Amino acid sequence: MVGTPINGRTRLSFGAVNGGHDLGPSSAPPSNAGSDYGIIEFTREDVEALLNEKAKRKDRFNYKERCENMMDYIKRLKVCIRWFQDLEISYSLEQEKLKSSLELAQQKCTEIELLLKIKEEELNSIIVEMRRNCTSLQEKLVKEESEKTAAAESHLKEREARLNFERSQSTLQEDLGRAQRELQSANQKISSLNDMYKRLQDYITSLQQYNGKLHSELSTVENELKRVEKEKATVLESLTMLKGQLTLSMASQEEATKQKDALASEVTSLRVELQHARDDRDHQLSQAQTLTSELEKSKDSTEKSCSELNKLTLRTNELEAKCALQDERIKVLQEQLTTAEEKLQVCDISASETRIEYEGQQKLVHELQRRLADAENKVIEGEKLRKELHNNILELKGNIRVFCRVRPLLPDEGSSTEGKIISYPTSMEASGRGIELTQNGQKHSFTYDKVFAPDASQEEVFIEISQLVQSALDGYKVCIFAYGQTGSGKTYTMMGRPGHPEEKGLIPRSLEQIFQTKQSQQPQGWKYEMQVSMLEIYNETIRDLLSTNKSSSEGTPTRVENGTPGKQYTIKHDANGNTHVSDLTVVDVQSVKEVAFLLNQAANSRSVGKTQMNEQSSRSHFVFTLRLYGVNESTDQQAQGILNLIDLAGSERLSRSGSTGDRLKETQAINKSLSSLSDVIFALAKKEDHIPFRNSKLTYLLQPCLGGDSKTLMFVNISPDQASAGESLCSLRFASRVNACEIGTPRCHTSGRPVESRLTYF
C-alpha cells in the first residue's frame, strides 16, 4: 500500500522530506548497512524508483523466482532503511551539537546581560554620587558667592562711612579754628563789655540755667554714645549685624553733628549777646572747654571706628581668601566632574559595544534556533518516511500491526504519582511507540507501531487507522480488533460514548469516512453497494444481533433469545479464502444513519453484565462486518473489500471479578476463547505446521485475518491502575507476540470483470 495513492493523497518524495533538496554524497553520511552491497548512498530518484518498483512476473507460477525477487526487494528496502537510520543518527548528533551551542550562546548572553546590568548599576551609582557632589558644590558656591557679595557690600559701606566721618572731623576742626579766632576777637572786646557785666548778671543766671539744661543734654548724649559703643561691640561679635550697627553709629554721629550745629548757632547768638555783655566771656570759655571735650570724645570715637574698620578690613581679607580657596575647590570639583563625564562617556561607549555584542549573540542564537528547527523538521520528515518504509516492509512481511492505548485513571482508582506504573520513553526512536510498565520494582519495556497516552482523543486514534479503513474501499480485507482485560476501554475505543458526538468510537468514524469517500468518488464513476452484518460469540455460540425473530424475555441470554430458535450458525471457509456464516442476517445500507440504527439495535441485543471490575462488562465477542462492492462504469474496474471491526470480551481473573453462576460460565468461556487465540498466536510466531484455529469459534472466525491475506490491526487496551499491573503486563506481552507474527502479504481484490461471489464473510 505504501508508494501508491491513498484516499486521493500521495506520499511525499524523499526530496520533499529533505526540504526540496536531493541528498547527495556531501549531505548524507556513508552507510555501512548491507555488507552485500558495500557503501550505498541514496538519492530522491533512487528512493522513488525503489518505492515505485513493480515485481516482474515472467512466469506467475514460478514462486521461487517471485520469492527471490521479493527477498531481494526486502533486502534493498532494509539497506535504504538502515541508510535512513544512519542519516537520522547524524541529524540527531547535529541537533545535539546545535542544542549545546545554543545553550552555550544563551549562557554567554546571560553572563553578558549580568555584566551589563552590573556595569549599568555601577555607572548609575557613580553618576548619582557625582550629581549629588555637583549639587552640593553648586549650593556651597552660591552660598559663598552670596557671602562674598554681602562682605563686599559691607566693606563698601564701611569705607563710605569712614570717608563721611573724616569729612565731618575736618569740618569740626574748621569750626574750632573759627571759634578760636572769634574768641580772640571776643577777648579784645572784653574790656568794652565789662560795663555791661552787671546788666547781664540776670541774663547770666538764665544762661546758667540754660547751661544746666545743656549739661543734662550732654549727659544724654554721653549715654547715647555708650549705647553706640555697645552696638559697635555687638558688630565685632557678628558680621551680619555690622550694617545695622554702622547705621546706628552714623545716626549718632549725625545727631552729634546736629547738636554741634545747634551749639554753633548758639555761639553765634552769644556773639551777638556778648557785644552787649562783658561777662559772656566766661560762658564762651566754658563753651570752648565743652567743645574741646566733645572734640576729644569725637577723636576717641574716631579711633574706635578706625579700629573697627581695620577689623572689618581684616575680616574682608579673610573672606576674600576663603572665597579664593572656594574658587580653587570649585575648579578642582569641576575638573573632577569633567573627568567623571569623560569616564561616563567611556562607559557609554563600552556599554554600546557590549549591547552590539549582545545583539550579535542574539542573532547567533536566533540563527542556531532556526537551524535547530530545520534539523528537527528534517528529523520529523525522516521519521515519517521511516514509518512509511517500515509499514511497507510490514505489509510485505505480512505482520499484524499493534496499537497500544492506555485509558485514564478512574476517580476511585486515585491519581497519586506514588502508584504510577505506566511511563513513556522520551528517546527519538521510542517516542510515540514505546511504553514501560513497572511491577514489583522491575521495569518492562515494549515497543509497538503506535502508543496512545491517556490524554489521546478518539479523533487522534482514528487518524492513525484512517488509511487502513480506506484500504477496504480499495479492495482489501481489513480487520481491526480490540484486546484487553475487563474495564480497559475496548468498547469505548470501538463504539465510543453514546450521546457524545465528540467521543465517537472507531466504528462510527470509519463508517462516516467510508460514506464520505463513496460520495467523493461518484464523479470518478465509482458506485458502491454496502452490506452490514453483526454477530456476537457468547459462550462459544454464535448469535445474530440483527435477527428480527425474537422470542426473548429479560434475563440471562441464551442462544434462543436472539435469532430464530433452533438455528445453527456454522462457519465455512472456501478455497479462495472467503468465510461464510450460514443463516446470518445481512442488511443493505445506503447511509450512515441506517448503520447507526443497526449499531444501536445490536448494542441493545448484546450480552452485558455487571462484575466487580466493571459495571457494564461485555460478556461476548462482538463482530461488525461491512462488505463493499464497487464498480467503475467508465473503466470497468471492480473492487470487493471487507471491513471487520471486532470488540473482544475482556479477559479477567475469577479472584478479582467475583463471578458466580452464569457469570462464572461466561468468564470461563471468554478466557477459553482468548486462550485459544493466544495458542494460535504462539503457533504463528513459531511458524508451526499446524495452527489450532478450530479450538474456538473466535479463532476459527478470525482465521482469514490471522493466517490469510488480510490487513490486520490489533488494539491492546490496558489499565493504568496499580491493581491491574499483572493483567496489563500479560496483555502487553501478548501484544508483542502478535506484532511479531507474519500472516502473509495482503492482496487487493480487484478485477476487470464481475466478481462471482459478493456475499463472502471474510
**Residue 555, CA distances (Å) to 325, 552, 558 in order:** 118, 9, 9
Classify burial at 184, counting beta carbons within 10 Å of its beta carbon; exposed 0-12, middle 13-18, buried 19 or more.
Answer: exposed
Per the CB < 8 A criterion, the answer to whether 480 and 710 are in contact is no
To the question of whether residue 486 is assigned a binding role by annotation, the answer is yes
Query: For residue 243, which of 144, 151, 146 has the smallest C-alpha distance?
Result: 151
Instruction: Confirm whether residue 168 is marked as ligand binding.
Output: no
Return the number of other C-beta atoms located less than 10 Å from residue 416's C-beta: 9
∠ Cα 109 111 117 (to 5°): 100
Residue 506's SS3 state is: helix
CA-to-CA dists, residue 593 to 383, 589, 596, 597, 599, angstroms: 39, 9, 5, 6, 10
Task: Give pairs for 691-696: CB < 8 Å, separation 24+.
Answer: 696/540, 696/672
To the question of whether residue 268 is assigned a binding role by annotation, the answer is no
Torsion (CA) 454, 457, 460, 464 in degrees, nearest 10: 60
Block residue for cell numbers 464513476: 525
Q: Can you read off the three cell numbers belonging to residue 295? A: 572734640
Angle at 334 between CA 332 and CA 337, to 5 degrees: 110
Q: Is 41 exposed, middle or buried (0-12, 13-18, 19+ CB in 10 A)?
A: middle
SS3 state at 121: helix
DSSP symbols for 644-657: EEEEPPPB--HHHH
Q: What's the rounded Cα separation, in Å, for the pair 89 and 428? A: 10
Q: Report d(CA 225, CA 218) in Å as an integer.
A: 10
Q: How far apart are CA 467 and CA 473, in angstroms?
A: 10
Question: How far apart, in Å, are the Cα atoms of 504 and each of 75, 535, 596, 599, 646?
Answer: 42, 21, 11, 12, 16
| Three-class DSSP category at 708 | coil
* Residue 290 assigned to a binding site: no
Distance CA 619, CA 648 (A): 9
Is 711:395 a contact under the CB 8 Å cutoff? Answer: yes
Spatial separation of the C-alpha atoms in residues 306 and 302, rounded to whole Å? 6
* Terminal alpha carbon distance of the chain: 20
Phi, psi (deg, nearest 5) at residue 38: 75, -155
Distance CA 554, CA 533 (A): 24
Task: Give how far Cα 350 sits from Cα of 123, 128, 339, 340, 540, Å.
Answer: 11, 19, 16, 15, 87
Q: What span, in angstroms and rounded, lies between the C-alpha atoms of 747 and 754?
A: 17
The H or E element containing residue 25 is none
| Closest to 677 (Cα-Cα) out of 699, 694, 708 | 699
Residue keyed to cell 503506535? 450
- Cell match 515494549: residue? 446
- Render 436-491 in DSSP notation, one character per residue: EEEETTEEEEEE-SEEE-TT--HHHHHHHHHHHHHHHHTT-EEEEEEEEBTTSSHH
The identity of residue 54, as a single letter, is K
491 annotated as belonging to a binding site for a ligand: yes
Neighbouring residues of 331: CB distance < 8 A, sequence distance ≥ 6 = none
Task: Round to whole Å and give the CA distance between 522 and 519.
Answer: 6
Does 484 show up as a binding residue in the annotation?
Answer: yes
Residues tagged in the binding site annotation for ATP: 484-491
Annotated binding residues, written as ranges, equal 484-491
